[in-house]
Structure 1
Amino acid sequence: MSRICDLTGKATMVGNRVSHSNSKTKRKFYPNLQMKRFYLPDEDRWITLKVSTSAIKTINKIGITEAITRFINKGSI
């Protein structure tokens, strides 16, 4: 399974691990993804999404249906 948010499209980033001696080696920054079930009242069913915690906060603020339509219009999905 890939580490990509289903709504926002956030994915793994690559950067450097910098030691005390300033030597640099590659490392990965993983997004904070959670498996979460959401209820769609207009379709009367549950869906399971792998979403980032920032997407969960957005869904809690504006609602799941509005969040899905915003992310579709933005082009993230």
Structure 2
Amino acid sequence: MSRICDLTGKAAMKGHHVSHSNVKTIRKFYPNLQLKKFYIPEEDRWITLKVSTSAIKTINKIGITEAINRFIKKGSI
């Protein structure tokens, strides 16, 4: 199962662990993903999405239907 947000497309980023002696070791920064069920009243059904917490905040603010439409228009779905 990939660690990518279903709505925003956020994925892992690459970075470094930096030790006290300044030795750099490659590591990954993963997005904060949650498995969440949303109800779509227009279709009268539930959908399960793996979304980032920032996407959940956006959905709470504007609604699931508008959020899906925005992200489709933006091209990230």
Scaled by the length of structure 1, the TM-score of the pair is 0.99
The structural deviation recorded for 1:25 is 0.4
For residue 44 of structure 1, report the CA deviation from its aligned partner. Answer: 0.1
Identity %: 84
What TM-score do you get using the length of structure 2 for normalisation?
A: 0.99
- Which amino acid is 1:22 matched to? N
Q: Tell me what 1:55 maps to.
A: 55
Q: CA RMSD in A?
A: 0.3
Q: Which runs of 5+ in 1 are unaligned?
A: none
Q: How many residues align?
A: 77
1:2-13, aligned counterparts within 5 Å? 2-13=2-13
Measure the CA separation in 1 of the matches of 2:42 and 2:20.
Answer: 55
Give 1:23 shift. Answer: 0.5
